[in-house]
Structure 1
């Protein structure tokens, strides 16, 4: 039984060095404990490599760590992110599926670097990995933010946002589309790994009609209503949508750490839901088994 002391809030979206976050899993958990959270989810992109370390830190610091993942998918020409909570992070089938997604990401990175070379910008994968300041660990992945760091370091962009706007965002000069699975497929993978699927930051897609279409396919059990990039109008709109479709309301800072002096997307604990939401997720997980 978890003891929350007087803690009441849960931040259910954070990233670590296992994907494109700046901090170790232990550091994320430490920050969550210092900020009085009851629980923190570790939801790295297409990997669960940071979960075990975070769980151990959670035991030391008396804070619940929710094992999670954020899977990159696509439908209707739009990148959609699917959060998976309470996944079995030892499940061999699930791990291989995530590994395949990371291999696809690696192929995309190679193509991005080639496009940059064609633009007269020389960035090597060795430089990108060197920019981590540490060896790349097993099952960890390189993403566009890592490439952006090198672009800034070499003077080709002012900051992370400028690097994306000029070169890496959809429609930019070195953008390369990545083959992705459908959101419903990601939900199936999460369910088969014993977890529950939640639609991440719907406000970032700029298409509520698409959001409704995805929800109506019936694979999601929750929706991230409160997110660092959601304002009050988005929170109200998606709260209503959650009630309409009977979805669990979740919240997440989407913390990635500090890059070039800026926190991306928000600080740990900046978006929270009460601990009762953990029970709702657990119940939904049991229902779909």
Structure 2
């Protein structure tokens, strides 16, 4: 009976090495099947480069792959992420817009490296990219986890979490941010690409008034209630918020793979929800004025 239940569930937030994950898209699909999931979303940061491979792997392995993206935005002075589900990953306008976002991400990364160097840390972007063990493709992106990994490898931090807490998290010594688009713009982009926008991991922003404001202004179709960094209290708050605004409730592990022996943020399938949510997301893609 438990196997039947698991096969009706999905994880709607995972990353691949197309952005700051460790695995290929095909490996994420394999892990999802091993954990008994029926569906998996690929939601890399500001890129859809991993979707095609994941779709092919899902078709071969009998697992539903939801094409997605996680768009970087800014509101209230902090980074806000918006997930887009069922976007047309071949849409030329979307691809051009995501390319611009990756350029912003590159400028942010360069500033972080400069800040680290000013702190006396011997690190270069070349060393960060070298840690990939392969060439970086033009449509892939580098994120803070890559920089954190380099800091651990070079002995400047004990763990990935230590690297973030000391240097990379908001308010930490080397944190940097660049001007970004608003959540409203991201939601519009996602809809224009045929998708359904969902506000990602609201608990990470530690500002529920900001979250409420984003929902009111950007009008996402859904909210990620169940996330690896949400506890029961956060889940209850955002479930109530979803009910208040009539939002689709989603769940995602935010899986990035294993770095320095640690899973970041959570393992595939550690946060999951009924596959029935996919029908609601697809319906949202067909509905205007959400």
Normalised to the residue count of structure 1, the TM-score between the two structures is 0.96
Contact 2:187 2:218 in 1 (8 A): no
Question: Partner residue of 1:42?
Answer: 42
* Count of residues paired in the alignment: 286
Contact 2:148 2:164 in 1 (8 A): yes
Per the TM alignment, residue 167 of structure 1 is displaced from its structure 2 partner at its CA by 1.6
Question: Partner residue of 2:100?
Answer: 100
Question: 3-state SS of the aligned residue for 1:41?
Answer: strand
Question: Partner residue of 1:30?
Answer: 30
Question: Partner residue of 2:240?
Answer: 240
Say yes or no: does 1:210 pair with 2:210.
Answer: yes
Question: Partner residue of 1:271?
Answer: 271
Contact 2:68 2:85 in 1 (8 A): yes
Contact 1:42 1:51 in 2 (8 A): yes
Q: Cα gap change, 1:262/1:6 in structure 2, threshold over 3 Å: closer, same or farther?
A: closer
Question: 3-state SS of the aligned residue for 1:217?
Answer: helix
Matches within 5 A, 1:107-256: 107-256=107-256
Contact 2:183 2:218 in 1 (8 A): no
Distance 2:108 2:55 in 1: 31
Distance 1:204 1:121 in 2: 28
Per the TM alignment, residue 219 of structure 1 is displaced from its structure 2 partner at its CA by 2.3
- Runs of 4 or more above 6 Å deviation: none
Q: CA RMSD in A?
A: 1.5
Distance 1:280 1:84 in 2: 13
Contact 1:84 1:190 in 2 (8 A): yes
Contact 1:40 1:66 in 2 (8 A): yes
Q: Cα gap change, 1:5/1:238 in structure 2, threshold over 3 Å: closer, same or farther?
A: closer
Distance 1:233 1:285 in 2: 30
Q: Which moved more, 1:47-56 or 1:216-225?
A: 216-225
Matches within 5 A, 1:12-91: 12-91=12-91
Q: Cα gap change, 1:184/1:12 in structure 2, threshold over 3 Å: closer, same or farther?
A: same
Q: Extract unaligned runs of 5+ from structure 1.
A: none
Normalised to the residue count of structure 2, the TM-score between the two structures is 0.95
Question: 3-state SS of the aligned residue for 2:38?
Answer: strand
Question: 3-state SS of the aligned residue for 1:82?
Answer: strand
Per the TM alignment, residue 78 of structure 1 is displaced from its structure 2 partner at its CA by 2.1
Contact 1:49 1:138 in 2 (8 A): no
Question: 3-state SS of the aligned residue for 2:179?
Answer: coil
Distance 1:64 1:127 in 2: 37
Q: Extract unaligned runs of 5+ from structure 2.
A: none
